[in-house]
Amino acid sequence: MSTAPAATGTAIGMSGVTVRFTTRRSQTTALDDVSLDIEPGEFVTIVGPSGCGKSTLLKIVAGLVTPTSGEVSLLRRPVRGPQKEIGFVFQKAALLEWRGARANILLQAEMRGMDRARAARRADELIEMTGLTGFEKALPHELSGGMQQRVALCRALLHAPPVLLMDEPFGALDALTREQMNAELHRIWRETGTTVVLVTHSIAEAVFLGTRVVVMSPRPGRIIRTFPVELPAHRDYAQVMSDPRFDRLATELRGLLGSAAANH
Amino acid sequence: MTENSLDTAGRRAAVDKASGEGAAAPTLASEGAPGAVDDAHSSRVASPPPGGRPPRPTLGRRAAALADSLWRPALVLVAFFVAWWFVAAREYVPNYLVPTPGQVWTTMTNQWSELARHTMVTLYETVLGFVLAAALGLATAVAIAYSRTLDKALYPIVLFAQVIPKIAIAPLLVVWFGLGLTPKIILAVLIAFFPVVISGVAGLRSTDPELLDLSATMGAGPWRTFRKIRFPNALPHLMAGLKVAVTLAVVGAVVGEFVGASEGLGYVLLLANGNLDSALLFADLILMSAIGIVLFVLVEIAEALLIPWHASRRVGVSLTTS
């Protein structure tokens, strides 16, 4: 943890990251010797079985969990403590029940002490971009799951973070809404150029969104393989689904994940 | 998903009807909207939705809902009143034990100025005790929720202190602080303190850990996190505790007056008891209950203003279900 891996150009750098949780009874290794470098503007998706430490990986990048050993850097600075240069989206939208959609998005600005007028303009842009227009004042319980997750996404993007971390953001949505959200996230990524790391259970989601897919093993979590996704940068959902390259990669991933689970 | 949200809207509408609210239609229309727009969105048509959110109930509808929730208990009360009148007027029970409602009314009107003065004394003690208990209780809850050391040091003591029958401390308080208002206020504080602490701690600890993670990545300090996230999140719990506390504060004040006082409703009660003046005793009891009810309703109103968003307050205005 003493020196940062100062590879120029990396948005996120991890080398030899190991995390052990010690409980009263036992010690579990959540992540074992994970090394991963992510370039700026990449969209890296991480797939793996439940409990493989995918979420822990994101929390390490965010500085919310300190690794037992190994080095982590964000934007070429070593990660120590919670990082501010990121946007975080969870599986649950984690909205404040008492605030309307717009006020929930603006929480980001209030907590950071951002300039009010600028934040308000930016919030309105994001609301427009994600189709929340007309629901600015709606409380979370008045919104559908998809709409709630849009609000959470806007909140994570309000301060235009260079890095966006997403922990199974669409896991709780129905299939149709999920496809829509995937298409929208893809568009937002193209428009903003943000570096994105997205953890998912869905192979289709991982391949459709990612420029690179990282496959992890069951606990202790290790990186089994990394696949570059050879699909155009500008993707259309229906086209990608019928693209033979998508099929080939999805089948390969499914096989790999299946055997990884079986070997365990 | 559309099906889902329509289903919810349908259920909500059913509840609205059951509680006598006729405004199901606009609620249903706008409730269905999120799903509808969600689905239409893929074509990126920015069609303005019919309404962002269900309209807030109007004053008239709130009053209707209130009346609806009150008529049943009112009916029970009237039945009880009639039974009391019947038993007392026919003298099945002698009047020096149970006076008629008429006698109680006469006593109350005849001695109104005196009774009003004593009521104000008890009310003053209760309110001051409650406010102090709320402030001290909240401060203690914050200390316990934020500091592990204070949690370990204070929480067991708070729990243990609750086991001591505080009514038994009343005579000691009189010895220490005399016959004035101080021992009554202290007793009210001691009794009302506990529910505030417990509910405050429960509320502050119920914050979603993901929200706290989020707040950390937003670079917010503990004060901002408290003000914007943890405190508002604790309010529903806290308000429940305050409702219990306010009724207990009345008990504290009255018991304090029992032990040694020259004014207040507790003092009047002892006096009436000594003179076997059951009409005065009943009048006194009614005034004590009135203090409790009025203060409880005030806390209810504060709750409705502070947390209109909470699940417990979403359907209608009801005093009976909260």
Q: Per residue in B64-96, pLDDT tens?
A: 887 888 888 899 989 998 998 898 888 888 888
Q: Are residues B276 and B146 in the same domain?
A: yes
Percent helix, strand, coil in chain A, to 5, is: 40, 25, 40
**Searching chain A, which residue's CA lies closest to the CA of residue B28?**
A142
Contact assessment for residue A68 and residue A1, using Cβ atoms and an 8 Å cutoff:
no
Q: Per residue in B245-254, pLDDT tens?
A: 999 999 999 9
**Searching chain A, which residue's CA lies closest to the CA of residue B46?**
A131
Q: Please say if the pLDDT value at position A71 is more than 60.
A: yes
Does a structural domain hold residue B161?
A: yes
Which residues does A contribute to its contact with B (CB < 8 Å)?
A: 59, 62-64, 82-84, 86, 88, 90, 92, 94, 96-98, 100, 107-108, 110-112, 128, 131, 133-139, 141-147, 174, 176-177, 180, 183
Q: Are residues B211 and B152 in the same domain?
A: yes
Q: Are residues B50 and B105 in the same domain?
A: no
Q: Are residues B46 and B195 in the same domain?
A: no
Q: Are residues B47 and B110 in the same domain?
A: no
Q: Per residue in A126-145, pLDDT tens?
A: 998 888 899 999 999 999 88
Does a structural domain hold residue B79?
A: no
B56 touching A (Cβ < 8 Å): no
Residue A232: count other Cβ atoms within 10 Å of its Cβ: 11
**Is B44 within 8 Å of A131 when comparing Cβ atoms?**
yes
Q: Please say if the pLDDT value at position A2 is more than 80.
A: no
Q: What are the φ/ψ torsions at residue B263 (nearest 5 degrees)? A: -155, 170
**Which of B185, B192, B187, B191 shows the shortest CA–CA distance to B134?**
B192
Q: Please say if the pLDDT value at position B127 is more than 80.
A: yes
Q: Out of A84, A94, A147, whose CB is closest to B208?
A: A94
Give the residue-averaged pLDDT of A209-234: 87
Q: Are residues B175 and B263 in the same domain?
A: yes
Does a structural domain hold residue B50?
A: yes
**Which of A65, A62, A59, A72 shows the shortest CA–CA distance to A4?**
A72
Q: What band does B4 get if pLDDT is binned at 50, 70 and 90?
A: very low
B15 touching A (Cβ < 8 Å): no
On chain A, the residues whose CB falls within 8 A of the CB of B210 are 90, 92, 94
Q: Are residues B115 and B177 in the same domain?
A: yes
Strand-by-strand arrangement of the A27-38 sheet: A27-38, A12-22, A69-74, A77-78
Q: Are residues B43 and B127 in the same domain?
A: no
Does a structural domain hold residue B41?
A: yes
Q: Out of B46, B52, B228, whose CB is closest to A136?
A: B52
Q: What band does A107 get if pLDDT is binned at 50, 70 and 90?
A: very high
Give the residue-averaged pLDDT of B210-235: 90
Mean pLDDT of chain A: 86
**Is B34 within 8 Å of A138 when comparing Cβ atoms?**
yes
**Which of A158, A169, A161 shows the shortest CA–CA distance to A108?**
A158
Does a structural domain hold residue B191?
A: yes
Q: Out of B1, B54, B216, whose CB is closest to A142?
A: B54
Alpha carbon A257 to chain centroid, angstroms? 20
For position B121, what pLDDT does the model report? 95
Q: Are residues B45 and B110 in the same domain?
A: no
User: What's the number of domains chain B is made of?
Assistant: 2
Give the residue-averaged pLDDT of B246-273: 92
Alpha carbon B267 to chain centroid, angstroms? 26
Q: Are residues B251 and B114 in the same domain?
A: yes
Smallest CA–CA distance, residue B131 to chain A, in Å, is: 25
**Is B46 within 8 Å of A82 when comparing Cβ atoms?**
no
Q: What band does B314 get if pLDDT is binned at 50, 70 and 90?
A: low
**Is B54 within 8 Å of A111 when comparing Cβ atoms?**
no
Does a structural domain hold residue B87?
A: no
ipTM above 0.90, yes or no: no
Pick from A147, A173, A185 the residue to mutate for testing the B interface (most B CBs within 10 Å).
A147
For position B51, what pLDDT does the model report? 43
Give the residue-averaged pLDDT of B123-141: 96
Dist CA A66 CA A56 (whole Å)? 10
Instruction: Please count the residue pairs, one from chain A and one from chain B, whose beta carbons lie less than 8 angstroms apart.
Output: 109
**Which of B123, B70, B120 shows the shortest CA–CA distance to B246?**
B123
Q: Please say if the pLDDT value at position B45 is more than 70.
A: no
Pick from A55, A133, A144, A177 the residue to mutate for testing the B interface (most B CBs within 10 Å).
A144
Q: What are the φ/ψ torsions at residue B188 (nearest 5 degrees)? A: -60, -45
Q: What band does B239 get if pLDDT is binned at 50, 70 and 90?
A: very high
For position B18, what pLDDT does the model report? 42
Smallest CA–CA distance, residue A258 to chain B, in Å, is: 31
Q: Are residues B205 and B263 in the same domain?
A: yes
Does a structural domain hold residue B105?
A: yes
What CATH number is associated with residue B159? 1.10.3720.10
Q: Are residues B114 and B209 in the same domain?
A: yes
**Which of A136, A126, A132 shows the shortest CA–CA distance to A161?**
A126
Residue % of chain A over a pLDDT of 90: 32
Domain boundaries, chain A: 93-159
Dist CA B132 CA B127 (whole Å)? 9
For residue B221, give Cα distances in angstroms to A60, A97, A157, B140, B179.
20, 21, 20, 21, 47
Does a structural domain hold residue B293?
A: yes
| Domain of B249, in residue numbers | 100-313
Pick from B43, B217, B306 the residue to mutate for testing the A interface (most A CBs within 10 Å).
B217
Which alpha helices (H) appear in chain B, and where do they start and end?
2-18, 24-40, 59-89, 101-110, 112-146, 148-163, 170-177, 182-205, 209-217, 222-225, 231-259, 265-274, 278-306
